[in-house]
Structure formats: structure tokens, C-alpha cells
Structure 1
Amino acid sequence: MKTTFKQFFNIQTTLKIFVVILILFSYASILCHKINLPTDDLGRHLTNGEIIWQTKSVAQTNLYSYTEPDFESANHHWLSGVVFYLLFKIIGFSGLVIFKIILLLAVFSLVLFISIRRGNFWIASLASIPAIYILSERTDLRPEIFSYFFTALFLFFLYDLEENPAKNRIFWLIPLQLLWANLHIYFFIGIAMTAGFLLEKIITHRKALKNNPLIKKLSFLFLSLIAISLINPYGIKLLLYPLNIFKNYGYDIVENKSPFFLQHLMHNPAISAFKIAVALLIISFFFSFRQWLVFRPIFLFLASLSTTIAGFLMIRNFPFFALIFLPAISINLKNAAERIKIEIEIINERVSSVLKIALPCILTGVIILIFSHYLNEAFFKNKEKGVGLTFQSNASAEFLIKENLKGPIFNNYDIGSYLIYHLYPKEKVFVDNRPEAYPKDFFDYTYLPMQMNEETWQKIDKKYNFNIIYFTQQEGTWWGQSFLRQRLRNDGWAPIYADSQAVILIKNSPENQTIIQQYKITKENIIDKIIYLKDNNFKIQMDGVHLLDLIDRHDLAFDWCQELNKKYPNEGRVWLEMGYLKSAENNQASLEGSSQYLEKAIELGEDLPATYDQLGLIYFNLGQFLKAKSAWQQALNIDSKNQNAKDYLKQYEALNLP
């Protein structure tokens, strides 16, 4: 019997070690991707850090823009810029990726440790599956990684105080809060967590509050965290900044959107995992509340409720939900797991021994099966594996610098930080990806209208006399895409550079004729200039298709898609692109082909409202009215607020069609 127990213990221990390694390796695998500098904020953070390190001061105004240089703006993550800059000087871009991986693995390891120690190993392990899916939404190198780190540390020290109330380790949180307040705007989370923990102890010890040492410590800590947060370059303004930042926020960005909105625009496994995790968390609290007399999870409930609401409001808050979800569900279901264990022991001893080994093995198999999703190419179709910078990250800026091209530059929102990194202070930007650093009116009455309205564009162009237009070629907004296509079709501007990341146009003026003659991209020579993109990964090849589409070479783009289709026959995005490209020809045969391609794309998972909207239009132009109506109705079934489908159906009814 002694040998059997030893063998059982060894199997259990080996399985647990293997599962922990697998979980951490799976998370590390999704963190190990390159920095896409043209669209990341990192370039601006590095420039911030360099300026602060050299001048020993933090800017109080916009600084980088020639449009709003004097607009007051708080750099709420100034210390992150300094940290990134100093690390970059020592270890470069590759080292920064490794630093991010190590830091975020430490965060997850600490939260997993808390979940296992205070909860149940197998519940924590299984809960890691949706948690990592949720965390996959935010894997870039940003100042927010420090907020994840401090959230985990606060959890650890608060629970440590509960286990060791006589110890004073909890006061390490005060200097940590000082760092947090200067590293990232989410520093208030530490104050909120302490307040929640204090509230739980007040309710739990409400009959013996007087001279309670635990409550005294937490009260002192709470007040100290608020006070220490005032030590920053902006004083009380930064302390209150989280409450005020959206009062002047004129530009909508994806990370600030609700998952309910985004689920109709893209397929995102993090959104599905978030919904599943919320449902599981609610169920776990039913088990927890049944034990109210012996276990009162007030802190966990408040933290779970807060992060759930935050996640439903903005997708950027997903990681904070995941970091609370993991310990919450493990702790809530701990007793339920113990009861299952007791029930197994009551069963016949032989059956019980088999189950004790079989169940962990089955659970391990489930974890391997699900996590294997991240170990194939699927997750990395929009990211490049490895460390350092993505393909052609610096190429467009190097071209601009080499050719000594001068502004003023009209750039799009996404590429602003990149241009700051490469060109400041010689050139300033029109806009960059800091909505709070520009007046709301700037976006409402300048930046957006000039891309939507030709007359406004001409007026603003006359005001600033732009010499360069510099856009990310995968500009994500309809107005940006429309504007770029119009400029490419306009003889007043000449495209002189295009790659998988960016497009540069120069004004067709007498002073620029030499550079135009040397580098101008035309419909005739575009394929020769970008043919090298075919030798790269799926994403970069699709970038090549997009470039051909931008310059109105739909025929070449379609041919390129057909080649891709042979390599990736089950990739819905290729079928979708072929459907859109074929519809541009607008004849009977091409429309019939387009409908078939879009139907195939839907079959392969591209079943989004926009796809059904387009398919309905094609059916309508083919005279297949009932199919058109059905497609638009399906778009509304997916998203009841889809305005395009509503408008199409309204026009359909006005025509008295069947």
C-alpha cells in the first residue's frame, strides 16, 4: 500500500509540474511576437524617455505636433518611457520583447500561485485556459504591462497580510504605489483593491472594530496610497486624471470599444473567452455564497464585479478581469472540488485509485488539446513570431530620411508615434495616437472632416501646405481608406513609396519632380516594386494584395489572391478578398463569381455583418432579390444595430419587391 501511495504521489506531482510548465509555455508563446513599430505606441514612449532622461523634466504640453503644440497634456506614463528608453539603450528591441515576456510571465505565475495556494490546483489550471485566451488580447509592449504587474503584487501582499496579520510586509505597497502612479494611469487600481479588502475586513469584523490591528493597517495603507500618488510631475491633476481623461477625448480607438460592439466587426477569441469566463465566474459565486457563514468573499466579489463591468465597457480592460477571474473561480470552487474528492474516496478503493489517476490525466489532456491552438500558425497570422521588430518596421522612415524629404507631413493617427520616434525634432507630426493630447474640436472639425470631405481637405491643405502624405497602408477606418484612395487617383499627389507597412505620397510640384521621376509608383510598375512581398508570410502577402487594390490594380490583386488560395484553401480572408475584388468588375459573370467567393468565405468563418451586407448587394445586382433580402436579414440577426442592412431593407421595401 505504501508503494502504491508513493507511485500515486509521483504521478500527481509529475502531472502538476507538467501542467504548470505547459500553461506558462503556452502563455509565453503568445507573448513572443515582434514589435510592429509603425502602429505601436512604443516609438513615442522611447522618445519621451530620451527627452526626459536628457532634460530631467516632463513636458506639460503636446510637444510633438505642429498643429496643437501648446495644448496642455499630462504624460501619465512618463516613467514607463524612461524605463523603456534605458532598457532599449542596453538591450535593444529584441531585449525589450524578452523583458515583456519575463515580466508578464512573472505576473501570470504569481496570480496562478495565489490561485493554487488559496484554491484548487486543477480548477486553477482549467481556468487558465479562458484566462490566457483573454490575456491574448493585450500582448504588446505598453506601459500597461506595469499595471498588470502591480495588480498581481497587490493581490499577493493583501492575501499575505490576511495570512500573516502581524507582519508588516504590506507596507511595501506604498513605495510600489509611488512607482505605479508614475508608470501608468491605472494606478488607481491599487487604491481600489486596498479599499475593497478593507471593506471586507470591516464587514467581517464589524462586531470587533475597535483597536483591530488588521483594519488599522489597511486604513493607514489606504490613506498612504492616496497620499503617495500625489508625488508626480502633475500633483493632484494626475491623481484625478483617470476621472477626467475622457472629457477631452475626440477620437474613438478600438481598445476603448466594448466587446459587444467589436464582436460584429471581427472574430476575436478573447471576446468569446471573456463571455464564457464571466458566466463561469457567476456560477462560482453561487457556490461561494452558500458558504457565507464561514467564507465571505466580499473582496473577490467586488473585484470581480468591477473588472467584469470594466471589461464589458472597454476591451483594453480584459487583462484585469483575467487576473481577478483566475484566483476568484479557484477560491470559490475550492470546497466544491474538495467534496468531489471526498465522494471519490467513498467509492470502492480500486475504482477510487483509478479515478484519482485518470481524472488528472484527462484534465491534463484537455489542457493540452486547447492550448495547442496557440502553438500553431493560427494565432500568428496577424503577428510575427520572435523578438525584435517586424518586417519593414523601419523601412519607410529610412527612405524618407535617406531622400531628405521635408514636411509639412500629413499623417494618419496610427503612424504618429512612429514618425515622432524617427523624425522628431526635425519634423513634427500632424497628429499622433494620443487623443487626450489634442483638443476634441481638432478631431471633430479638422482631422476627420478633411478625410471625409474634398472641400475641407483643400482648405486644410492650403492652410498647412502639405508636402508629404504618410499613412499606414492598412489604415483601419473607412474615411482613412477612402481618403488614401482619392489621393492615389489624384494627379496632384504622387506615390513614391509603398511597402507592407506604409504608403508615402509627395505633392506633385515643380520642386519635387526629381524625386517623383525617380520613385513614382504607377499602375504599370507597382507589381515590380512589391513582388518581393510574395516571399513572406501570409499577413505580408495580404498586405501586398491590399496595395494592389489601393492603386486600383484589382486584376493583379485577384491573381495574387488566387495564388494565395492555392497555399491557404481554408483561409476565409482570401476568399473574402477575392469576393470584394471580383465585385469591383461589376458585370454578370464577375458578380456571380463574387457571390460564390463570399459564400465560401462565410462558410470558412467570415460570417460578419459586413460580409452579408456585401453579399446582399451582389445578389440584388444579380436580380436575386429574395437572396439579397435574406442576406441583409442575416446581417441584422447578427447585429440588430447594423445601419447598412437596415437602409438596404428599407429601400428594398420601398421598391415593393417580394
Structure 2
Amino acid sequence: MKTTFKQFFNIQTTLKIFVVILILFSYASILCHKINLPTDDLGRHLTNGEIIWQTKSVAQTNLYSYTEPDFESANHHWLSGVVFYLLFKIIGFSGLVIFKIILLLAVFSLVLFISIRRGNFWIASLASIPAIYILSERTDLRPEIFSYFFTALFLFFLYDLEENPAKNRIFWLIPLQLLWANLHIYFFIGIAMTAGFLLEKIITHRKALKNNPLIKKLSFLFLSLIAISLINPYGIKLLLYPLNIFKNYGYDIVENKSPFFLQHLMHNPAISAFKIAVALLIISFFFSFRQWLVFRPIFLFLASLSTTIAGFLMIRNFPFFALIFLPAISINLKNAAERIKIEVEIINERVSSVLKIALPCILTGVIILIFSHYLNEAFFKNKEKGVGLTFQSNASAEFLIKENLKGPIFNNYDIGSYLIYHLYPKEKVFVDNRPEAYPKDFFDYTYLPMQMNEETWQKIDKKYNFNIIYFTQQEGTWWGQSFLRQRLRNDGWAPIYADSQAVILIKNSPENQTIIQQYKITKENIIDKIIYLKDNNFKIQMDGVHLLDLIDRHDLAFDWCQELNKKYPDEGRVWLEMGYLKSAENNQASLEGSSQYLEKAIELGEDLPATYDQLGLIYFNLGQFLKAKSAWQQALNIDSKNQNAKDYLKQYEALNLP
């Protein structure tokens, strides 16, 4: 017994326990943020769950839209909605956040356990650093969290079968697959993982395939997973849905974009971590393939290759890469780590004894240093720490309901699920954040053109006779921003509500005059209506700046930015905003000031192509032509496909400037 306690409490064991706790705590810290309901899908999932639970049926058409109500649409995550709804009824929004944290911690813990058990502890621990950076890309409460969970379970049971081929625990995957097929569209990953594992065993045992119990079990499992996936409200249609979903997908969303595209639009540590992890993974397979005669990581190679390609195609696939990367690199480098350990022991026993203590201590220090990044305010500048809902999540909908305002509502894409949650069935939406639930032509010829073209807007407005325009105030597209600014400048519409989340406008018609007189937001009263935002965190204060900018109070927005600049002198986004606001004045002094602000923003990390594009324009208007040319060339150095910079340089050359 004394020996057991001595072994347990030795330095290495204590350090390992500490490191595991630190890793899990670091991951938990980035998961612990509030739900931003206006831009989240959760509202629609809760409404889905409520309707399904009450009616005991799953809708076959676009239930929530008045524009395309009869369009056939498969709810490929219907069971997730039911789970979220039932949990919400019991534990509320705060409980849902805690549920998400527990589930995703269980996922990471299981994958880390597999990585340590089959690989090397310190390699797995160090690999957790890029893995968690990558996982930080997807931390919201979505149906996909169940796909992460089942991916980890499949890994566990497949490796368990390899270690215990006589056991039948592997067949638990069949009922789990039934759940997965109804919880999230990525259910095919379980089938693919089983196929990859089966292929590895066929190649490994190719000389003794006949009556091989392991291959028989995996073959039966593979066929059973396909068959069980057919048990869903849509039958074979849902089974084939992953292959067909993008055939009718008329709206581009950020999560479906490649990291190669997004890296030029934003600074995202997950993208950098992904590229580093891919490089490390390739190196690890070099070591692994050198041991081909004794170790054939066919499954790991196929899984790594598939998730790497998936990650390069769409940023939403990053977590699946991370869940494979962690065990793959740990297992691949296990033998290399053991060989180094043996060689050090051979060289000098005393050096080996020192390294056994020093190396874990050094590695622990490195892990603490890097993970401490997640414990400061920087990571949460776009998130709100804690559980429950973010600031003003329900405020705009509560205003609409309290004032008994009626549609038809023209809403933007992002806020659709929020309106479904608060207003259905009394009001339906123009659009919501399900591209597959609307015909592609709807986006191509209605939703997008009506925001880009005034004539099209007037035509569609006449068709539907909109009474309300309801947008997220941080609408992320240039056409949405442009449309919102045009409506705010148009006397035909009156802004009656604005907060850190949303903007509501009402048609300036005789029947709406009472509400307009009571709540109309003007350039003169805007500051009084949103002054309270100054008492909140950085993100919400920046939302206030954006509202002032939207309503063309650039002077007040600039003053607000200057106050923020005093609090956050090293925050590049404040300098960037000041640069844009100052350039709007378009006189010599303001342009000179704008160039200085943008230069400072670039110095503080806002060195994106769009910043250089704007800086080049300002230099050009100041007559500093060589600086303008240099700025646009720098934009192209960062992103060779930057069309704005190409157009500016083409015009520059046409003018025969130096």
C-alpha cells in the first residue's frame, strides 16, 4: 500500500494530474459563454422541439416562412430540437450552457484518454494546445455537439474492439447510430469511421480473411449502421441528404467557407492553429510510416486525411479534425518518444533521472503559459462570459410584442431563428438561417437583389407590403449594411427601436403615426436612447459606436471611440473604427488623421487586406500616390485574389501615376 501511495504522489504523476486538470479547465473556460439568441440557431431549434413534442410529427415543408411555405425541407436535426426543448423546460438557458460544457468536456476527455492510453501522455498534452485552439472555433450550443460526442464514442468503441476482439461492446454503436441519424446531419461520419477501421483490418489480415471474427464483426456493424440510419422521418432521403444538401444552397455563410478565404477577412487563432496542426500531423505520419512492418495506421491516416480535407473546405469541420488530430499525433509519435527515452537512459543514467523530472516540469510550464491566453479578456471580446443569455438578447422581441406591432416583417437572414422563437405562429419570417429550406432562386432573385437594388426593393415591398424591417444591427454583409443605411436615410421608414443586438424600423404610414411619434429615433435623440451602452463591456460599447455610425452621427461615434481609446489604447479595432469614421468627413485634415489611425490599427494587428485597401484610398485622396500604390500592393501580398486592390492598381496604372 505504501508503494502505491508513493507511486501516485511522485512528481511526475502529480504533474500529469495537474496538466490534465489544466487542459480541461482551459477548454471549459472557452465553452463558458452566454447564448447570443438573436444570431444563434437555438431559437428555431427550441420551437422545432416544442412543435414536434406537442404534435408528435416532423414538418415536411418550410413551416416558418410566409415567402416559401410549401417548399419541401428535411429537418435533419429534428431530435436535437426535442432534446434542447425538453432540457430548456427543465433547466432554462443557463442549464443549456452548462449541459453544453459538460457534454463537450466529456468529448474532449474521452479523446484525450484514448490519446494518452494508446499514445504518449506528454505528446497528447502538448497536442491539446493546438487542438483546443481549433475547437475554439465552434463553441456554441448547436446540434453538431452531438456529432462531436458520437465521433468520440465511435473512436472509443472501435479501439476497444481492437483491444478486446472477443467482446461485443462494439454493437452499442448500432443504437447510438440510430440516435445520431436523427440528431445531426453528420451521422455519416460514424459509418465512414467504421468503414475505415474495417479497411485497415482487411489490409492487415489480408492473408487470413476467412472466418476472421474481427472482420466479421466490423462488416456486420458497417451494414447495420447503414440500415439503422434509415429509421428516421424521411427514410432514404435523409440517408442521402448529406450528398444532396448543397445542390440547393443559395446563401453563403461563414461556417461553410474555407479557412484560406476567411484568413484574409479576420484574425482567427483557430485557422493558424489548424495549419500548424496539419503540418505537425504530416510530420508524425512520416515517423509512423517508418514502422510500417509493425504498425500500420491506415485508419488514422484515412481519418486524418479526410478531416484535413474537410477542414480546408469548410471551417465548420475544424472540430472533427481536432478530435482525430489529438490521438493520431500521440499514437504516431509514441514509439519515437520511447526511443528517445531509451537512448537518453543509455547515454547517462544520471542525466536520464534529471530529465525525467525536468522535462515534465518544462512541458507543464509551456502548457500553462499558452493556455493562460484563454483566461484573459482577449478571447472574450466577442463573447460574453457566463451562462444564460447575452445582454439584451430578448429586448427587441419583447418591445415588438409589448407594442403589439404587426407584420409582414422583412428580416435579415441572421435574425430569422430568433423571430421564429419569439413570434411564431402569430408572425412568420421572410427568411431564416436555413439556406436549404428555401429554393436557391429565392436568394438569387429575391432576397439578395432587393437589398442591392432600390428598384427591386420597391417591387418586392409592393408585393408583400412590409410593415416592419427587423435586422441585426451588426449585419455582417455589405449588401445588408448598405440596405439598412438606405432605409434609415429614407423618410418612408422610421427607426423605432435600436439596441446592441437589433434595429427595428416601421413603415411611415398613417396607421403607424402613434408609435412613430412615441419611439422614433432621430439623429438628435439617438445618444440619449443608447447612452446606457457605455456602462457595458467592450463589445457592447462598440455596438453603440456602430449604431451611431448607422444613423450617420459620425461625430458622436468618433467621440465615443476616443473615450474607448483611452480605456483600451492597444485595441486595434478602436483605432480602425476611428480611421473609417474620420475618412467619412473627406477633408484634408480628417484624411490625414484617418491615415494615422489606420496605420496605428495595422501596427496593433488589424493588418487585413480591407484595411490596406481603405488606407490606399486615403493616401490617394491626399495625393500621396506612391503610398497608395504600396498599400494596395500590400493588400495583394496578403491576399492575391483581392479584387478591390486589383481594381485600384489597374486604375492607378491607367492614370500613368508613378
* TM-score normalised according to structure 1 size: 0.99
CA deviation map 1:537-565 (0-9, x unaligned)? 00000000000000000000000000000
Distance in 2 (CA, whole Å) between partners of 1:403 and 1:155 is: 53
Give the conservation status (yes or no) of the 8 Å contact 1:494–1:507.
yes
Distance in 1 (CA, whole Å) between partners of 2:504 and 2:348 is: 75
Give the conservation status (yes or no) of the 8 Å contact 1:632–1:649.
yes
Distance in 2 (CA, whole Å) between partners of 1:353 and 1:216 is: 47
The alpha-carbon deviation at position 169 of structure 1 amounts to 0.2
Compared CA separation, residues 3 and 416, structure 1 to 2 (3 A): closer
The alpha-carbon deviation at position 344 of structure 1 amounts to 2.1
Distance in 1 (CA, whole Å) between partners of 2:236 and 2:447 is: 31
The alpha-carbon deviation at position 4 of structure 1 amounts to 14
The alpha-carbon deviation at position 6 of structure 1 amounts to 4.9
CA deviation map 1:203-236 (0-9, x unaligned)? 0000000000000000000000000000000000
Distance in 1 (CA, whole Å) between partners of 2:248 and 2:146 is: 25
CA deviation map 1:600-634 (0-9, x unaligned)? 00000000000000000000000000000000000
CA deviation map 1:273-294 (0-9, x unaligned)? 0000000000000000000000
Distance in 2 (CA, whole Å) between partners of 1:86 and 1:403 is: 30
The alpha-carbon deviation at position 651 of structure 1 amounts to 0.2
Distance in 2 (CA, whole Å) between partners of 1:45 and 1:394 is: 16
Distance in 2 (CA, whole Å) between partners of 1:596 and 1:560 is: 18
The alpha-carbon deviation at position 130 of structure 1 amounts to 0.1
Distance in 2 (CA, whole Å) between partners of 1:290 and 1:350 is: 31
Distance in 2 (CA, whole Å) between partners of 1:477 and 1:470 is: 15
1:33 corresponding residue in structure 2? 33
CA deviation map 1:418-450 (0-9, x unaligned)? 000000000000000000000000000000000
User: Over aligned residues, Cα RMSD in angstroms?
Assistant: 1.3
* TM-score normalised according to structure 2 size: 0.99
2:588 corresponding residue in structure 1? 588
SS in structure 1 of the partner of residue 494 of structure 2: strand
Give the conservation status (yes or no) of the 8 Å contact 2:185–2:242.
yes
The alpha-carbon deviation at position 341 of structure 1 amounts to 1.0
Give the conservation status (yes or no) of the 8 Å contact 1:32–1:387.
yes
CA deviation map 1:18-65 (0-9, x unaligned)? 000000000000000000000000000000000000000000000100
Distance in 1 (CA, whole Å) between partners of 2:39 and 2:246 is: 22
Distance in 2 (CA, whole Å) between partners of 1:384 and 1:262 is: 23
1:133 corresponding residue in structure 2? 133
1:516 corresponding residue in structure 2? 516
SS in structure 2 of the partner of residue 506 of structure 1: strand
The alpha-carbon deviation at position 183 of structure 1 amounts to 0.1
Compared CA separation, residues 630 and 459, structure 1 to 2 (3 A): same
CA deviation map 1:60-107 (0-9, x unaligned)? 000100000000000000000000000000000000000000000000
The alpha-carbon deviation at position 350 of structure 1 amounts to 2.4
Give the conservation status (yes or no) of the 8 Å contact 1:8–1:357.
no
Distance in 2 (CA, whole Å) between partners of 1:559 and 1:636 is: 33
Give the conservation status (yes or no) of the 8 Å contact 2:7–2:13.
no
Q: Which runs of 5+ in 1 are unaligned?
A: none
Distance in 1 (CA, whole Å) between partners of 2:7 and 2:186 is: 48
CA deviation map 1:304-341 (0-9, x unaligned)? 00000000000000000000000000000000110111
CA deviation map 1:384-429 (0-9, x unaligned)? 0000000000000000000000000000000000000000000000
The alpha-carbon deviation at position 347 of structure 1 amounts to 3.2
Distance in 2 (CA, whole Å) between partners of 1:89 and 1:140 is: 19
CA deviation map 1:153-208 (0-9, x unaligned)? 00000000000000000000000000000000000000000000000000000000
Distance in 1 (CA, whole Å) between partners of 2:577 and 2:3 is: 63
SS in structure 1 of the partner of residue 506 of structure 2: strand
2:234 corresponding residue in structure 1? 234
The alpha-carbon deviation at position 574 of structure 1 amounts to 0.1
CA deviation map 1:570-623 (0-9, x unaligned)? 000000000000000000000000000000000000000000000000000000
Compared CA separation, residues 2 and 350, structure 1 to 2 (3 A): farther
The alpha-carbon deviation at position 351 of structure 1 amounts to 2.1
The alpha-carbon deviation at position 345 of structure 1 amounts to 1.3
The alpha-carbon deviation at position 349 of structure 1 amounts to 2.5
Compared CA separation, residues 7 and 168, structure 1 to 2 (3 A): closer
Distance in 1 (CA, whole Å) between partners of 2:623 and 2:301 is: 56
Distance in 2 (CA, whole Å) between partners of 1:419 and 1:234 is: 27
> Percent identity at matched positions?
100
The alpha-carbon deviation at position 466 of structure 1 amounts to 0.1
The alpha-carbon deviation at position 2 of structure 1 amounts to 12
The alpha-carbon deviation at position 7 of structure 1 amounts to 7.6
Give the conservation status (yes or no) of the 8 Å contact 1:26–1:375.
yes
1:314 corresponding residue in structure 2? 314
Q: Which runs of 5+ in 2 are unaligned?
A: none
The alpha-carbon deviation at position 348 of structure 1 amounts to 2.6
Give the conservation status (yes or no) of the 8 Å contact 1:198–1:215.
yes
SS in structure 1 of the partner of residue 38 of structure 2: coil
Distance in 2 (CA, whole Å) between partners of 1:348 and 1:626 is: 62
SS in structure 1 of the partner of residue 410 of structure 2: strand
Give the conservation status (yes or no) of the 8 Å contact 1:134–1:318.
yes
Compared CA separation, residues 3 and 348, structure 1 to 2 (3 A): farther
Give the conservation status (yes or no) of the 8 Å contact 2:34–2:389.
yes
Alignment map for 1:38-187 (pairs within 5 Å): 38-187=38-187
Give the conservation status (yes or no) of the 8 Å contact 1:617–1:628.
yes
Distance in 1 (CA, whole Å) between partners of 2:58 and 2:217 is: 34
Distance in 1 (CA, whole Å) between partners of 2:232 and 2:585 is: 59
Distance in 2 (CA, whole Å) between partners of 1:7 and 1:353 is: 16
Compared CA separation, residues 69 and 577, structure 1 to 2 (3 A): same
Give the conservation status (yes or no) of the 8 Å contact 2:12–2:360.
yes
The alpha-carbon deviation at position 128 of structure 1 amounts to 0.1
Distance in 2 (CA, whole Å) between partners of 1:343 and 1:603 is: 47
Distance in 2 (CA, whole Å) between partners of 1:636 and 1:569 is: 29
Give the conservation status (yes or no) of the 8 Å contact 1:530–1:544.
yes
Give the conservation status (yes or no) of the 8 Å contact 2:8–2:14.
no
Q: What is the number of equivalent residue pairs in this alignment?
A: 658
Alignment map for 1:573-612 (pairs within 5 Å): 573-612=573-612
Distance in 2 (CA, whole Å) between partners of 1:329 and 1:397 is: 48
The alpha-carbon deviation at position 354 of structure 1 amounts to 1.2
The alpha-carbon deviation at position 353 of structure 1 amounts to 1.4
Give the conservation status (yes or no) of the 8 Å contact 1:264–1:608.
yes
2:421 corresponding residue in structure 1? 421
Give the conservation status (yes or no) of the 8 Å contact 2:93–2:387.
yes
SS in structure 2 of the partner of residue 264 of structure 1: coil
Give the conservation status (yes or no) of the 8 Å contact 1:133–1:273.
yes
1:285 corresponding residue in structure 2? 285
Distance in 1 (CA, whole Å) between partners of 2:95 and 2:521 is: 37
Give the conservation status (yes or no) of the 8 Å contact 1:143–1:184.
yes
The alpha-carbon deviation at position 5 of structure 1 amounts to 12
The alpha-carbon deviation at position 346 of structure 1 amounts to 1.8
Distance in 2 (CA, whole Å) between partners of 1:108 and 1:57 is: 34
The alpha-carbon deviation at position 355 of structure 1 amounts to 1.1
Give the conservation status (yes or no) of the 8 Å contact 2:281–2:328.
yes
Distance in 2 (CA, whole Å) between partners of 1:337 and 1:518 is: 72
The alpha-carbon deviation at position 486 of structure 1 amounts to 0.1
Distance in 1 (CA, whole Å) between partners of 2:455 and 2:96 is: 45
Distance in 1 (CA, whole Å) between partners of 2:57 and 2:355 is: 64
Compared CA separation, residues 204 and 555, structure 1 to 2 (3 A): same
Distance in 2 (CA, whole Å) between partners of 1:88 and 1:276 is: 38
Compared CA separation, residues 351 and 505, structure 1 to 2 (3 A): same
SS in structure 2 of the partner of residue 561 of structure 1: helix
SS in structure 1 of the partner of residue 37 of structure 2: coil
Alignment map for 1:299-310 (pairs within 5 Å): 299-310=299-310
